Amino acid sequence: MATSVFLLFLPLIFFSSSSSSTFDRSSRASSLSVEHADDVLTSRNGIFSAGFFPVGDNAYCFAVWFSEPDSEGNRTIVWMANRDQPVNGRKSELSVLKSGNVIITDAGRFTVWSTDTVSESPVFLKLDEYGNLILQNSEVVLWQSFDSPTDTLLPQQLLTTDMKLVSSRSQGNFSSGFYKLYFGDDNVLRLLYGGPEISVYWPDPELKSCEAGRSTYNSSRIAFLDPLGYFSSSDNFNFTSADYGERVQRILKLDFDGNIRLYSRNSGMEKWTVSWQAMSQPCRIHGTCGPNSICSYVAHLGRKCSCLQGFKIRDRTDLSLGCVQEFNLTCTRNETGFLKLSHVEFFGYDYGFFPNYTIEMCENLCLQTCDCKGFQFKFVKHNHPDNIPYCYLKIQLLNGHHSPNFQGDLYLKVPKKTLPFQETGLDCSSTVVKQMNRTYTKNPENASQKFVVRFAIVFGAVELGVIFVVGCCFLRAHQNSSAGTHSYYRMVTGFGKFTLSELKKATRGFSEEIGRGAGGVVYKGVLSDHRIAAIKRLNDASDQGEAEFQAEVSTIGKLNHINLTEMWGYCAEGKHRLLVYRYMEHGSLAEQLSSNALSWEKRFEIAVGTAKGLAYLHEECLEWVLHCDVKPQNILLDSNYQPKVSDFGLSWPLKRGGPANKSFSKMRGTRGYMAPEWVSNLTITSKVDVYSYGMVLLEMISGKGPTEEIENRRVVRWVREKMKQATGMSSWIEMIMDPKLDGKYDKFRVEILFEVALKCVAEDKDARPTMKEVVEMLLRQENDSELV
């Protein structure tokens, strides 16, 4: 940017002397006082000003605004320093200190804000012509307001990793509000409501990122608005303003109501007009109405909140607090009934969803579940010609909205004696419906057709890190509604945080050990909802902070593939770190290989499934994850002997395409299965897993582990030598094959598996195929073999 060119034309330059001789050493640090209305910095082009701005009664914040007011005479604030800590109207000031720090003091006493900068040489503060407030010395920019935006993005200002726009609290209150625009862990730019509960509402959480037109692969995480009105983000999201062109002032603002809008005007004294906005349906913005309340949109009047029947407003001055229940629900079946509310949808917080359920079945289920507050019933088009009724049990009634276009109903659980409430009692359905005029960008039914899963929030877990993000990979394996009743829990409720006492209880005091590995000991347990879990207690995990642990776990939690073990949750309390997985009936591949329970067909299936799981880890998901410890002990088998790769908790996400980073300082893995790179100090890439996978294949074929010695040789060398020696195909296969198979195998496939295995265990990592290529080789050959 050309800012430095204009250095000399700055209206106000503060000097702080230290080593420089041209300025008087005794000169005070410069300051702007709250008491002098003309203590204002103005940009060289006159467009922006910075100074103290009144935000309330005798309350001021240091801000940057457009010098020219709007049509109502109000200033348009684009940045604020101390939005959450306004200062007194007397004796407060912003000072540039000799040390290079800039501070705001309240009433001459407390420092409420500072840039925390240090400089040996004199520094000065300037407001550039793009509205950026810059602190610099003669060499470098020490600090700039563009790096810490509040709720507004100006043209040329970058929104990048670790930056976020945070809405203001309300129209007249500039304090930080609940809505945030930021780049998520999956590189997608999104809008989040972070009030009492947390949920993402843009892009549409019912859509996978790719369906919303977003890419998760570009980790540069940069978004910006150009002066002409084109906004683009590294996740492929972009838009062009309705009034694209030059000579227009623009701001992109995250408004207090949770919508992002692009505003423009031709000049000062004009009204700002909206030239783009993110949400066309305001009731789809979460957090508007709070729990047990329904949002409805009335043209010209805006959004309106109304309580469900039997609930009353908690606080008339703050509708976002929602409504409280007035009746008492017992858990007795014969005392409880349901009230139908048509065209009402409550989003998220599902206890579970159940395809092909009738209303009666759904009612029964809700009655059996004491925590069930009601259920959503709607028809979802599936893989069938007919729509299938779906039942979503609600554990909380949040993000409710009413829309005549919504084809579904909410059944609210109420005491029988309060029935019959009539549906007409719902004031928004009787009065509001007719006035509503809403433009839908798409038929909402279509959106739901594609999904059997709704975005849901982990109960109790409010950490940002564990927000469940619906990514491209999240639903991949679950298009088939009968994919298993087990999976709905996790998919719908996300994964949760468990308490240590819960897990103690589940495992009966960690009594039943079912496995032991480098990372920790695994116990069998039964969760309070009767699910059988494998609970891994990590050794020496306490050197990892809780936040770091949660971040890592949330990465793992996002991975969802039929051939990876499902993680249901975690526990991080004090020094304890535990992971909760689904229990696998048939234990590990290692056990099954040694007990000779696997036929050749099963072995081949397991090879394919494992390759698919690893390929997904490496390439298809949100982030690249290396496993680093692929071995038969970590390949678990479910009741159908379907493989599930487990224990990828030791892995780290990698920047896609990039080499491994420094964090690979410690060697990981198990002797015998470890790629030579680990030992020879070469770069660690996903090819280490390919090597280990190759070793597993050899073991599955030959029945011999990598550390076993056969004729004084390790398996790999032994196999290679046998191949060289052999004259005919069948002779070496017979020599190598696991004798436990008793000659029952498909020679053609053995050959394929061998070929793949040997490619995988190549010493040179670049000669090894990727896991994706492995899958292709196995499957291509599989089809060929069927033709034979």
Ligand X SMILES: *[C@@H]1O[C@H](CO)[C@@H](O)[C@H](O)[C@H]1NC(C)=O
Q: Can you say which residues are annotated as belonging to the binding site for ATP?
A: 536
Q: How far is the CB of 389 from ligand X (least distance, A)?
A: 9
Of 161, 238, 273, 441, the residue at the interface with ligand X (CB under 6 A) is 238
Of 87, 466, 473, 608, the residue at the interface with ligand X (CB under 6 A) is 608
How far apart CA 25 and CA 16 sit, in angstroms, is: 8
- CA nearest to 640, candidates 476, 482, 473: 482
**Token pair for 649:** 């908790």
* Cβ nearer to ligand X, comparing 20 with 387: 387
* DSSP conformation letters of 53-80: EEEETTEEEEEEEESS--TTS---EEEE
Of 681, 712, 727, 783, the residue at the interface with ligand X (CB under 6 A) is 681
Query: Per rule CB under 6 A, is residue 639 in the interface with ligand X?
Result: no
Q: How far is the CB of 507 from ligand X (least distance, A)?
A: 29
Q: DSSP class of residue 428?
A: I
Of 21, 22, 267, 482, the residue at the interface with ligand X (CB under 6 A) is 482
* Cβ nearer to ligand X, comparing 22 with 446: 446
Of 91, 169, 713, 714, the residue at the interface with ligand X (CB under 6 A) is 169
Q: How far is the CB of 176 from ligand X (least distance, A)?
A: 8
Q: Return the number of other C-beta atoms located less than 10 Å from residue 244's C-beta.
A: 14
Q: How far is the CB of 457 from ligand X (least distance, A)?
A: 23
How far apart CA 504 and CA 525 sit, in angstroms, is: 9
Q: How far is the CB of 33 from ligand X (least distance, A)?
A: 21
Give the binding range for ligand X (CB under 6 A) out of 52-60, 115-123, 398-406, 700-708. 52-60
* Cβ nearer to ligand X, comparing 598 with 761: 598
How far apart CA 172 and CA 188 sit, in angstroms, is: 31
- CA nearest to 329, candidates 294, 374, 363: 374
* Cβ nearer to ligand X, comparing 29 with 59: 59
Site string for ligand X, 612-631 (x = CB under 6 A): x-------------------
Rg (CA), the chain: 31
Beta carbons of 493 and 350 less than 8 angstroms apart: yes
Q: How far is the CB of 492 from ligand X (least distance, A)?
A: 18
* DSSP conformation letters of 737-765: S-GGGTT-S-HHHHHHHHHHHHHHT-SSG
Catalytic option among 106, 185, 186, 629: 629
Q: Exposure pattern of 726-750 as b/e (b: 16+ CB <10 Å)? A: eeeeeebbeebbbeebeeebeeebb
* Cβ nearer to ligand X, comparing 549 with 664: 664
Q: How far is the CB of 530 from ligand X (least distance, A)?
A: 22
Question: Residue 265: which residues within 8 A CB-CB, separation 6 or more?
Answer: 70, 248, 249, 271, 272, 273
Question: Residue 249: which residues within 8 A CB-CB, separation 6 or more?
Answer: 47, 66, 264, 265, 266, 267
Of 222, 321, 433, 723, the residue at the interface with ligand X (CB under 6 A) is 222
Site for ligand X in 344-383 (CB under 6 A): 356, 383
Query: Per rule CB under 6 A, is residue 443 in the interface with ligand X?
Result: yes
Q: How far is the CB of 56 from ligand X (least distance, A)?
A: 3
* Cβ nearer to ligand X, comparing 126 with 582: 582
Of 213, 245, 420, 545, the residue at the interface with ligand X (CB under 6 A) is 213
Q: At residue 493, what are phi and psi to the nearest 5 degrees?
A: -95, 5
- CA nearest to 410, candidates 363, 446, 371, 352: 363
Q: How far is the CB of 53 from ligand X (least distance, A)?
A: 12
Of 405, 480, 599, 730, the residue at the interface with ligand X (CB under 6 A) is 480
Cis peptide upstream of residue 203 (ω within 30 degrees of 0): yes
Of 82, 119, 234, 259, the residue at the interface with ligand X (CB under 6 A) is 234
Residue 541, classified by CB atoms within 10 Å of its CB into exposed (0-12), middle (13-18) or buried (19+), is middle
**Token pair for 442:** 């798409």
* Cβ nearer to ligand X, comparing 108 with 213: 213
Site string for ligand X, 534-573 (x = CB under 6 A): ----------------------------xx----------
Question: Residue 710: which residues within 8 A CB-CB, separation 6 or more?
Answer: 704, 718
Q: How far is the CB of 7 from ligand X (least distance, A)?
A: 29
Size of the site for ligand X (CB under 6 A): 42
Binding-site residues, please?
Answer: 536
Q: How far is the CB of 745 from ligand X (least distance, A)?
A: 17
Of 115, 119, 145, 236, the residue at the interface with ligand X (CB under 6 A) is 236
Scan for tokens 């053609």, then name that residue: 748
- CA nearest to 181, candidates 249, 237, 126: 237
Q: How far is the CB of 575 from ligand X (least distance, A)?
A: 32
Query: Per rule CB under 6 A, is residue 388 in the interface with ligand X?
Result: yes
Of 114, 121, 175, 544, the residue at the interface with ligand X (CB under 6 A) is 175
Query: Per rule CB under 6 A, is residue 240 in the interface with ligand X?
Result: no
Of 317, 439, 639, 783, the residue at the interface with ligand X (CB under 6 A) is 439
How far apart CA 240 and CA 525 sit, in angstroms, is: 54
Q: Are strands 387-394 and 374-381 parallel, antiparallel or unpaired?
A: antiparallel
Cα-Cα-Cα-Cα dihedral sign, residues 717, 720, 724, 728: positive
* Cβ nearer to ligand X, comparing 109 with 655: 655
Give the binding range for ligand X (CB under 6 A) out of 101-109, 156-164, 232-240, 467-475. 232-240
How far apart CA 95 and CA 118 sit, in angstroms, is: 14
Scan for tokens 């599902």, then name that residue: 350
Q: Where are the beta strands (DSSP E) in 323-364?
A: 323-325, 336-342, 344-346, 350-355
* Cβ nearer to ligand X, comparing 164 with 169: 169
Scan for tokens 């008087």, then name that residue: 24
Give the binding range for ligand X (CB under 6 A) out of 15-23, 213-221, 274-282, 552-560. 213-221
Question: Does residue 629 have an active-site annotation?
Answer: yes
* Cβ nearer to ligand X, comparing 14 with 272: 272
Site for ligand X in 313-342 (CB under 6 A): 327-328, 332, 334-335
Give the binding range for ligand X (CB under 6 A) out of 129-137, 435-443, 461-469, 662-670. 435-443
Cα-Cα-Cα-Cα dihedral sign, residues 657, 661, 663, 664: positive
Site string for ligand X, 65-94 (x = CB under 6 A): -------x-x--------------------
The distance in angstroms from the start CA to the end CA of the chain is: 66
- CA nearest to 202, candidates 100, 278, 282: 278
Q: Return the number of other C-beta atoms located less than 10 Å from residue 321's C-beta.
A: 17
How far apart CA 375 and CA 366 sit, in angstroms, is: 7
* Cβ nearer to ligand X, comparing 172 with 574: 172
Beta carbons of 177 and 169 less than 8 angstroms apart: yes
CA 291 to chain centre: 23
Of 4, 138, 220, 707, the residue at the interface with ligand X (CB under 6 A) is 220
* Cβ nearer to ligand X, comparing 20 with 356: 356
Residue number with the shortest CB distance to ligand X? 609
Scan for tokens 């563009």, then name that residue: 146
Q: Furthest-apart CA pair in the chain: how many Å?
A: 97
**Residue at 692: amino acid letter:** S
Query: Per rule CB under 6 A, is residue 281 in the interface with ligand X?
Result: no
> Residues in the site for ligand X, rule: CB under 6 A?
55-56, 59, 72, 74, 169, 173, 175, 213, 218, 220, 222, 232, 234, 236, 238, 327-328, 332, 334-335, 356, 383-384, 388, 437, 439, 443, 445-446, 477, 480, 482, 562-563, 605, 608-609, 612, 642-643, 681
Residues marked active site are found at 629
